[in-house]
């Protein structure tokens, strides 16, 4: 096994991570960071440490899985949850409390948002219970502490902070009434011994997880999620995962921006349409760039893992920061220099935090090269980072339509149009 692939294989075996979903550069950067922190002489000595230290294994996993979450992310999902929960309470007639699961729950913003949304909808404490699972013990520890900084409160609608939090010198403390409704547990969804995997939930939140898996693992995960959800239960997912669930036997409940799905026992196979590109009035489909040479796969690197550069050395091109490098990626792709554009994208991911536009360009380069599966993976990663990225929505919609997924394409087109309409309204 090569020096590169053994680290990729480790993450695949432990948490089901597909290297193609995040890019080799992000994993290599995480390994390089851990190697430097552990003061290992080289990748071989770090690999030996990784084999013998459970703590370091967990540290590497947490270095790769950087939590990006905040309260009431995708707010329409929580509005929808409140309405569905009230209806379900009426059906149960006090026979039992509602059971809700959040995984991966990261540092707790999502499960606590669920509890606050249910209180806001009119439910009493005894009428529901939220379980929350994450693979990271550090994230679970922070979630239980329930003290949050300003980065956890985003958007203009943060009235819930006054209702449910107490200001502290270093952040905001969540009130006990909400904390008591959430039980946290460290666990892996793919672990057959997972305690909660034998439960049946009324509502299950599993967002932005399946985009990191290959097709086989996605099917395995959905099988587990179905087993954990009641026959009449509702599964909330991430914005980029709708077409995945549609192909795997789930259907949308039809509420815009809720990203909520239920079981569909019979999968209706629609005939593949003849796709005629009809651009939106507001969001035209970005045409593939005139790339004259084939997109080259990144050349195998020695993976010698040099020490991390200092903060002032992160730019690959002297004098150029992240914005300048993004502009260079666009210029190279537009000039048809596919290999150079691909290489620039990889360099960006090695030295800067990932952004949607880089994965959009990687998707576009892959699509023009005829690698549709790779392109979809990159587009979904872009939508995870920026759910309303208009170019990605349009490009992925056209790609899905050309493959016969008319329903998935329509959903993305509608999202793109809503995004532009909202932006215009704000202006």
The per-residue pLDDT for range 73-83, each reduced to its tens digit, is 889 999 999 99
pLDDT band at 250 (very low <50, low <70, confident <90, very high): confident
Name the token pair of 346.
């990889």
Return the biggest CA–CA distance within the chain. Answer: 67
Separation of CA 310 from chain center:
29
- Examine domains 75-263 and 311-426 and report if their fold is the same: no
Write down the pLDDT at residue 198. 52
Instruction: Report the range of poorest mean pLDDT among 35-44, 131-140, 353-362, 380-389.
Output: 380-389
Tell me, yes or no, if the pTM score tops 0.85: no
pLDDT at 304: 34
pLDDT exceeds cutoff 80 at 99: yes
**Secondary structure of residue 331 in the 3-state scheme:** helix
- State pLDDT tens for residues 266-277: 544 444 333 333
User: Mean of the pLDDT values across residues 176-201?
Assistant: 81
161 vs 3, 148, 156, 316, CA distance in Å? 47, 11, 12, 41
Is the domain 311-426 a CATH 1.25.40.10 member? yes
CATH 3.90.226.10 for domain 75-263: no
The pLDDT of residue 312? 32
Q: Convert the pLDDT of each residue in 260-305 to its tens digit.
A: 999 876 544 444 333 333 333 333 444 444 443 433 333 333 333 3
Q: What are the structural domain ranges in the chain? A: 3-64, 75-263, 311-426
pLDDT surpasses 60 at 197: no
* Cα distance between residue 326 and residue 18, in whole Å: 25
């Amino acid at each position: 096994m090569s020096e590169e692939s053994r680290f990729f294989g480790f993450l695949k075996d432990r948490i089901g991570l597909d290297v193609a979903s995040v890019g080799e550069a992000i994993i290599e950067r995480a390994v390089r960071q851990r190697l430097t922190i552990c003061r290992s002489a080289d990748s071989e000595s770090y690999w030996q440490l990784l084999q013998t230290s459970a703590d370091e294994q967990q540290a590497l996993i947490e270095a790769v899985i950087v939590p990006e979450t905040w309260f009431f992310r995708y707010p329409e999902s929580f509005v929808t949850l409140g309405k569905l929960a009230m209806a379900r309470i009426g059906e149960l007639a006090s026979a039992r409390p509602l059971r809700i699961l959040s995984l991966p729950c990261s540092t707790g913003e999502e499960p606590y948002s669920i509890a606050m949304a249910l209180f806001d909808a009119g439910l009493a404490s005894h009428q529901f219970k939220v379980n929350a699972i994450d693979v990271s013990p550090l994230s679970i520890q922070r979630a239980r502490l329930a003290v949050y900084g300003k980065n956890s409160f985003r958007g203009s609608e943060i009235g819930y902070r006054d209702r449910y939090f107490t200001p502290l010198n270093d952040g905001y403390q969540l009130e006990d009434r909400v904390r008591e409704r959430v039980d946290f547990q460290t666990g892996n969804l793919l672990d057959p011994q997972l305690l909660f995997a034998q439960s049946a939930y009324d509502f299950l939140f599993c967002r932005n997880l399946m985009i990191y898996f290959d097709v086989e693992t996605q099917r395995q995960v959905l099988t587990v999620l179905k087993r954990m959800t009641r026959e009449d239960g509702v599964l909330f997912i991430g914005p980029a995962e709708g077409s995945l669930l549609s192909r795997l036997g789930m259907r949308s409940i039809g509420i815009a921006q809720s990203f909520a799905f239920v079981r569909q026992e019979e999968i209706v196979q629609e005939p593949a349409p003849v796709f005629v590109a009809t651009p939106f009035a507001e969001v035209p489909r970005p045409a593939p760039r005139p790339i004259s040479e084939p997109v080259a796969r990144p050349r195998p690197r020695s993976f010698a893992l040099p020490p991390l550069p200092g903060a002032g050395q992160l730019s690959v091109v002297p004098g150029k920061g992240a914005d300048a490098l993004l502009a260079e990626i666009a210029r190279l792709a537009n000039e048809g220099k596919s290999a150079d554009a691909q290489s620039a994208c990889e360099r960006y991911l090695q030295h800067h935090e990932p952004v949607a536009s880089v994965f959009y360009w990687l998707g576009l380069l892959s699509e023009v090269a005829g690698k549709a599966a790779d392109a979809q993976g990159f587009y979904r990663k872009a939508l995870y980072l920026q759910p309303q990225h208009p170019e990605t929505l349009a490009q992925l919609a056209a790609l899905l339509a050309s493959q016969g997924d008319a329903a998935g394409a329509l959903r993305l087109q509608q999202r793109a149009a809503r995004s532009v309409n909202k932006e215009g309204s704000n202006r």
